[in-house]
């Protein structure tokens, strides 16, 4: 059973474990090959997490017609690597209780490894092989390609991913690289070749890498680990970020996509503050009051589920890209309730804009935000995730303490001033069985 951790704002990395104070440290290190990275020392776990991302190689950074290459690559590399077939590679990872993943994003390509420290000498070479020596066997890669294209046409199979990665970006980032979506068009995706994948692999370089290591590991061990992860990865020259900053286009509309079944998934977009904005934590308070994290005291669940029984779930969360941020809302309801939910949600937004929040709600939101943060950092993987993403956003290693301090500093007038900028005339996307 995981031990509960409460991160206390009493200096760097103080952790209370059922009354026992432990300390982890965040260090900025440089490997023997000159690779700068963060080490989050966590003595409480025998696991080691390694997270690596390459910037400016995501879907938004590809030339016209090639948008889907990063997504294609993130699947195709698991078709076999080095001397291992697809099944043999998976078996080798399973035998040492290690997991590896690759994910394409709009701005990055991200890899992750989780392995017991005792088998790192076996896991790291496998991880390096995954990154640097994909086989791209034509028959297996073609199966992957056909499967992805099928899912693009058959969006009912995964309506959330389709909405999040394709439909919503196309609407709110029209005529911007983010608007091309995670996959591009089905026609463009089918035209991608193995040569495209090989060329893309060669674009990954150490100079564009962000790295975070977390676990019960020493500085010297971490330096050696990072150098081994990047063995056979070229040094390269920094890529140029040609994507421009953009605000989401929040044109009022309701777009419907038919998915057979009694339940509808509803999405809406609102303005948000970027991670490094001075108003970000003011916005986070407002998001929590609206309903971030499926909180029952948030207005969405309280008014639409508890009081009226109209939705199964409802949450909002900020979506942050390098060049834009927006607030995504996600609700699930019976098909017959869709229009009523839209109307009532507009009422909730309007009330926040006109009347703001109360002092009691502010106190609740602050406590809940800090509590959610502390609970989410209860294991090594979540610690690594948190610091890795903050590192990519340009924050320093004291971000945890800074975050708690920023939450505490938020005042009621600041939240209500930001609430006045809300607009209830939103863009809604409905994916479900309601045709009208």
List residues bridging with 78 in a β-sheet. none
Same domain as 178, residue 259: no
Picking from 229, 264, 293, the residue at the C-terminal end of a domain is 229
| pLDDT for res 296 | 86
Domain with 57, as residue range(s), is 26-229
pLDDT of 75-93, one tens digit each? 999 999 999 999 999 999 9
User: Which DSSP string do the residues of 207-218 spell out, in sequence order?
Assistant: GGEEEEEEES--
Looking at the domain assignment, is residue 13 inside a domain?
no
Contact between 272 and 318 under an 8 Å Cβ cutoff? The reply is yes
| pLDDT for res 20 | 39
Same domain as 260, residue 142: no
Contact between 368 and 375 under an 8 Å Cβ cutoff? The reply is no
Contact between 58 and 174 under an 8 Å Cβ cutoff? The reply is no
Number of domains in the chain: 2
**428 in the Ramachandran plot: left (φ > 0), alpha (ψ -120 to 50) or beta?**
beta
Looking at the domain assignment, is residue 299 inside a domain?
yes
Looking at the domain assignment, is residue 244 inside a domain?
no
Same domain as 162, residue 49: yes
Looking at the domain assignment, is residue 12 inside a domain?
no
Question: Which position has the higher pLDDT, 229 or 12?
Answer: 229
**Calpha distance 24→398 (Å, rounded):** 12
Confidence class of residue 14 from pLDDT cuts 50, 70 and 90? Answer: very low
Same domain as 195, residue 64: yes
Same domain as 404, residue 318: yes
Same domain as 271, residue 205: no
Residue 121: which residues within 8 A CB-CB, separation 6 or more?
none
Residue 11 has pLDDT above 90, yes or no: no
Same domain as 192, residue 268: no
**Calpha distance 341→345 (Å, rounded):** 6
Residue 155 has pLDDT above 90, yes or no: no
Same domain as 356, residue 417: yes
Looking at the domain assignment, is residue 158 inside a domain?
yes
Picking from 229, 245, 274, the residue at the C-terminal end of a domain is 229
For 326-360, give one letter per residue: b (16+ CB within 10 A) or e.
Answer: bbbbbbbbbbebbeebbebbbebbebbbeebbeee
pLDDT of 328-361, one tens digit each? 999 999 999 999 999 999 999 999 999 999 999 9
**Calpha distance 235→204 (Å, rounded):** 9
Cα–Cα–Cα angle for 362, 365, 368, rounded to 5 degrees: 150
Least confident interval from 43-47, 258-262, 290-294, 352-356:
43-47
Q: What is the mean pLDDT of residues 4-24?
A: 41
Two tokens, residue 73? 């690559």
| pLDDT for res 236 | 84
- What CATH number does the domain containing 195 carry? 3.30.830.10
pLDDT cut 90: percent of the chain above it: 78
Same domain as 182, residue 82: yes
| pLDDT for res 182 | 92
Same domain as 257, residue 206: no
Question: Which position has the higher pLDDT, 151 or 341?
Answer: 341
Looking at the domain assignment, is residue 241 inside a domain?
no
Q: What is the mean pLDDT of residues 34-44?
A: 90
Same domain as 285, residue 223: no
Same domain as 260, residue 117: no
């Amino acid at each position: 059973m995981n031990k509960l951790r409460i991160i206390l704002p009493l200096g760097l990395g103080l952790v209370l474990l059922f009354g026992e104070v432990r300390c982890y440290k965040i260090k900025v290190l440089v490997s023997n090959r000159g690779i700068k990275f963060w080490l989050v020392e966590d003595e409480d776990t025998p696991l080691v997490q390694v997270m690596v991302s390459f910037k400016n190689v995501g879907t938004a950074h590809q030339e016209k017609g090639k948008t889907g290459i990063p997504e294609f690559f993130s699947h195709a590399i698991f078709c076999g690597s080095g001397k291992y077939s697809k099944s043999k590679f998976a078996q080798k990872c399973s035998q040492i209780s290690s997991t590896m993943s690759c994910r394409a994003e709009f701005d990055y390509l991200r890899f992750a490894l989780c392995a017991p420290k005792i088998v790192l000498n076996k896991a790291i070479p496998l991880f390096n092989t995954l990154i640097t020596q994909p086989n791209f066997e034509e028959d297996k890669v073609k199966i992957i390609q056909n499967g992805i294209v099928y899912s693009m046409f058959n969006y009912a199979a995964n309506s959330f991913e389709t909405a999040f990665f394709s439909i919503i970006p196309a609407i709110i980032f029209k005529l911007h690289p983010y608007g091309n979506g995670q996959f591009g068009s089905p026609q463009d995706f089918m035209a991608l070749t193995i040569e495209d994948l090989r060329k893309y692999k060669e674009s990954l370089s150490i100079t564009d890498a962000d790295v975070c290591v977390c676990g019960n590991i020493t500085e010297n061990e971490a330096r050696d680990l990072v150098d081994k992860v990047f063995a056979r990865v070229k040094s390269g020259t920094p890529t140029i970020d040609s994507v421009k900053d953009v605000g989401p286009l929040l044109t009022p509309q309701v777009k419907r996509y038919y998915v057979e079944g009694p339940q509808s998934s509803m999405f809406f977009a609102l303005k948000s503050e970027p991670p490094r904005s001075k108003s970000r934590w003011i916005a986070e308070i407002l998001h929590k009051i609206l309903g971030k994290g499926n909180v029952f005291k948030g207005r969405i669940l309280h008014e639409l589920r508890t009081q009226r029984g109209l939705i199964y779930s409802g949450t909002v969360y900020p979506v942050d890209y390098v060049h834009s941020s927006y607030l995504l809302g996600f609700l699930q309801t019976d098909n017959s309730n869709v229009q009523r939910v839209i109307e009532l949600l507009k009422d909730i937004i309007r009330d926040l804009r006109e009347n703001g929040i109360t002092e009691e709600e502010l106190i609740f939101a602050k406590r809940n935000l800090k509590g959610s943060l502390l609970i989410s950092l209860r294991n090594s993987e979540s610690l690594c995730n948190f610091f890795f993403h903050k590192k990519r956003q340009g924050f320093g290693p004291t971000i945890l303490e800074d975050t708690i301090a920023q939450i505490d500093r938020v005042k009621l007038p600041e939240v209500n001033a930001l609430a006045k900028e809300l607009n209830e005339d939103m863009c809604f996307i409905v994916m479900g069985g309601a045709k009208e």
